[in-house]
Amino acid sequence: MLSRREFVAGACAAGSLGAFHHVVAHADPSQPLEVIGNRPYVTAELVNGSVTREVACWLDTGGDALLLAQPVSEALALQATGPQQGSGEQLLQPVAAPRLLVDADEIDIPSDAVFVALGGPTIDPGVAAQGLLPARFLRGHRVLLDYPGRKFALDARSSEGIPLPVDIDVQSGMPRLDAVIDGQHVGLLLDTGASFSMLSRSFMDALAARHADWHSVYGAYGAANMIGGRLEADARMLRVPQISLGELQLKDVAFVSRPEGTFERWTSSMTSAPVVGALGGNVLRYWRLELDYPRSRVSALITESSSRHDSQIVPITLTPSFSRGYAIDGVMDGAKVSAPREAMIGKTLLAVDDRPVAGKYLNEIDDLLRGNEGETHRLKLSGGTVVTAAVARIL
């Protein structure tokens, strides 16, 4: 069972959140797909007895359980089925499974695979989601995720896209892509739950050592900043010029690192063969993706050959918290800021250009911190500190 923070990490963009759409029966078999912070959101209907609740869930091909926010569980009166797990803002409560309907289809949920994230209005302080839906629950279906077209459907008839070299694990439902990176055949998890692509730190460091000309920085910024903490403050980012997925060639793919063993031992235990990383939302947001679970097939129609992400942003690493807000845990070496980096670490970000960040999600704060290279933003921090920080080109 994953910890709550691992759910959000994806180990594992729409600028404003907007309103989530309800499922409407019409000639088009699809329903709207929301893309928030590079993650796909679908509307699920949860039913417990006479109570029904529509919930915007992000769809995670790397997840292993249905995760619900506390207000959703309380509205449905879901009963606890075991002791709480974790601590603090990582506290999870196993509960009885409600009925789950997605795109008008009722989906079977394993009785031991529903958890409530306690302590906040969403499943994690940095994200808008009130639910996380693991794609393994949809293994009896052919799933369409059209990121550019903003459409989602189950069992829609379509043959578009390039077939990808993939194997979907029978037990976990996790799709493993066969990729070629720098001449090496490696496995990558296809991870819609992650807002950014990831690589094992040891594998990334080896790539960077062989290619000093590949752009690399230390820390996690923008969409790569998924959970914060020392894990991301001490992370590394690397842009890989090309990746091959069978016939498909991807250019300029940016990755953020995860500690050695995250993929080699933990994730690889749930995939059909070993993986060294994951392909996430900074790449997938350009894809019309079809996952045919019954036939273990995946195809993709790409709107852009380059997956270069928005990389012009004030380079700080934030750690979200329901109780504390957004703490600054990292500042990129060489960042142009008007205060010493050490004086910023540990402070809470209160406002950007006099716009309060309280109640905002990470993707919304990223939008406030973006701009043209060299442009400055005024950061108000806890303790009365005000810092002028320049936008930098990360990769």
If the chain, 395 residues long, is cut into consecutive pieces of 10 residues, what is the mean pLDDT of each piece? 47 31 44 95 96 96 94 97 89 96 92 93 94 92 95 83 95 96 98 97 98 97 96 97 95 96 96 97 95 94 71 96 95 96 96 97 97 97 97 94
Entry field: residues in the chain = 395
Place of tokens 């994730």: 267
Tokens of 170: 């029978």
Q: List helix spans (H) across 134-228.
A: 201-210
Tokens of 385: 């500190």
Distance of CA 100 to the CA centre of its chain: 22
Backbone torsions φ then ψ of 10, nearest 5 degrees:
75, 15
**Which architecture characterizes domain 312-393 according to CATH?**
Roll (2.30)
User: Which amino acid appears at position 172 of this protein?
Assistant: S
Domain with CATH 2.40.70.10 in the chain: 4-154, 162-302
Tokens of 171: 């037990």
CATH of 4-154, one of 3.40.50.720, 1.20.58.340, 3.20.190.10, 2.40.70.10: 2.40.70.10
**Other CB atoms closer than 10 Å to residue 145's CB: what's the count?**
23
Q: Find out whether 342 and 384 touch, Cβ atoms under 8 Å.
A: no
What's the longest Cα–Cα distance across the chain?
A: 61
pLDDT reported for residue 311 = 86
Q: Is 325 strand, coil or helix?
A: strand
Cα dihedral sign for 291, 296, 300, 305? positive
pLDDT reported for residue 9 = 52
Query: How does DSSP assign 77-139, residue by residue?
Result: TPPB-S--BS-GGG-EEEBPPPEEEETTEEE---TT-EEEETTSSSSSTT---SEEEEGGGGT
pLDDT reported for residue 12 = 42
Name the nearest CA neighbour of 64 among 144, 174, 168, 145.
174
Name the nearest CA neighbour of 90 among 12, 1, 4.
4
Domain with CATH 2.30.42.10 in the chain: 312-393
* Alpha-carbon span 98 to 107, nearest angstrom: 10
- CATH 2.40.70.10 fits domain 162-302: yes
pTM assigned to the model = 0.92
